[in-house]
A and B are shown apart, each in its own frame.
Chain A
């Protein structure tokens, strides 16, 4: 069965620290991968997506992710976090766009 797993449930960082959130998937064949962000009390917003091509994907708000097929990974990175990045981050995967399977989320708290 297809699945998406996120390594950390909670991450606490100070402002200006670098961020890397882990995501692994267990799909065979072609997979489409996404990172979503959910700010407190809000709905999910798309940060970035990977379908094919360049494995380094750049998204909004300075986030990027790297698709490493050999490791079945799609880790999210940001060189320098801000207090406003405090949110929950979800990795998701799918095939054929009809449905997405989500990881359980990583809650990021950035202290000023």
Chain B
């Protein structure tokens, strides 16, 4: 099992550019989430999904869009990148029962200049 796969691992964007961070899981998990990690801030929830076709906002959703057309994939779109979006982004998934906690991807380190 690959678990949760995130691509790319590193990305540099110019202010105003758009891009999509990819996340795929092969564990047939219903729940998927996107977090951003900033020094001293812990992990903050951006968007989450409880199943295909269902998404909702988390704590810091502004500037990001998501969609969940399949159980496996949960891409995160930056519409118009800003320096404040420089961060490390983690995708995570969990079964609906959740008794094994969340499985995290290896992260995408994004720098917006």
Contact = CB atoms under 8 A, between A and B. Distances in A.
Is chain B a partner of chain A in the same complex?
A: yes
The DSSP consensus for interface residues of chain A is loop
B43 A43 contact: no
B104 A43 contact: yes
Contacts of A32: 98
Nearest to B43: A102
Interface in A26-52: 32, 34, 36, 42-46, 49, 51
B45 A46 contact: no
Interface residues of B, number: 28
Interface stretch (B62-70, B73-81, B89-97): B89-97
Interface of B: 31, 33, 35, 40-45, 48, 50, 58, 90, 92, 94-107
Contacts, number: 58
A99 B48 contact: yes
What is the interface residue range for chain A against chain B?
A: 20 to 34
B57 to A, nearest CB: 10
A104 B40 contact: yes
A108 to B, nearest CB: 15
Nearest to A96: B98
Contacts of B100: 46, 49
Contact of B97 (A34, A44, A90, A97): A97
A43 B42 contact: no
Which of A46, A90, A100 neighbours the largest number of chain B CB atoms within 10 Å of its CB?
A100
